[in-house]
Structure 1
Amino acid sequence: MSRILAIVSDLALVVVFVMIGRASHAEPLDMEGIQRTALPFLAGTLMAWIGFLLKRHSGLTLVNGVFVWAMTVVLGILFRLLLGDTAEFSFVLVTAAVLAAFLIGWRAVVWLVRRNRPEQPRAKDPRRSGNPAKRNAG
């Protein structure tokens, strides 16, 4: 999986989280409302990814997922409060739980799939053989 696809996946999952939350509270799913609610969390997600890009991390590991999740939740709640919105304790708990499932979850699935994939036999390179005659033949 490429980094671009991972970034887009994280951002899309944050928007899905926002849409589920708005729908569960019978709030309209209009573009303005979704943007207003999603912006603080998208900013947190993007800040985590900027850190990965500056440090040249792939952003695809489970540990990276925990970092993206933590930054998204902490900065998202902080930015939400700075913009004058509320963040009740139950909201913070639900936000943390759902975003953990989303942002860490897809990385866990990728890790499990890669871990359980049967290893492909490698073509033997005669130059890497322990036999000097075969090494010099290529």
Structure 2
Amino acid sequence: MRRFAPLFVDVVLVIIFCAIGRRSHDEAVLAGLLKTVWPFGIGLLVGWAIAAVLARGTRFDATALWPTGVVIWAGTLVGGMTLRAVSDQGVAVSFVIVAATVLALFLLGWRGAIRALR
């Protein structure tokens, strides 16, 4: 179970990011949450897969800020925005900037905090 804890944390944070976004735009949080989460959820899984492949031959540390966290963040952002565009959801420049910032704070922040505490 401990092995999957970092993935679980990332999934929860992506869901929170989407819920905050829906709430800030006065949209029904629970009713439309899946529509908002799925592109970023798939992007997150793609980011995790790329990070795992890049770590081949070395010990994969899912809590590492660099390169693991950055790759997961980039995969979540790029994958999420790409899938939103393909599915006719909004990808305004302002949204991309906000999403990049908040996802970095969430996905990189907890990894940085762990490093600081160690």
**What is the TM-score normalised by the length of structure 1?**
0.77
Pairs within 5 Å for 1:27-66? 27-31=27-31, 33-54=32-53, 55=56, 57-63=60-66, 64-66=68-70
Larger RCO (CA under 8 A, 6+ residues apart): 2
Structure number with higher helix proportion:
2
Following superposition, which runs of at least 4 residues in structure 1 exceed 4 angstroms of deviation? Answer: none
**Partner of residue 77, structure 1:** 81
Structure 2 gaps of 5+ residues are none
8 Å CA contact 2:17–2:103 kept in 1: the answer is yes
Q: Write the letter of the residue equivalent to 2:34.
A: Q
CA distance in 2, matches of 1:58, 1:3: 10
- The Cα of 1:95 is off from its aligned counterpart by 0.1
- The Cα of 1:52 is off from its aligned counterpart by 3.5
- The Cα of 1:59 is off from its aligned counterpart by 1.9
8 Å CA contact 2:48–2:71 kept in 1: the answer is no
8 Å CA contact 1:45–1:68 kept in 2: the answer is yes
**What is the TM-score normalised by the length of structure 2?**
0.89
Please identify the structure whose Cα radius of gyration is greater: 1
8 Å CA contact 1:52–1:58 kept in 2: the answer is no
Report the secondary structure of 2:13's partner residue.
helix
- The Cα of 1:86 is off from its aligned counterpart by 1.6
- The Cα of 1:48 is off from its aligned counterpart by 1.6
Alignment root-mean-square deviation, CA: 1.6
Structure 1 gaps of 5+ residues are 115-138
- The Cα of 1:111 is off from its aligned counterpart by 0.2
- The Cα of 1:49 is off from its aligned counterpart by 1.5
Identity %: 38
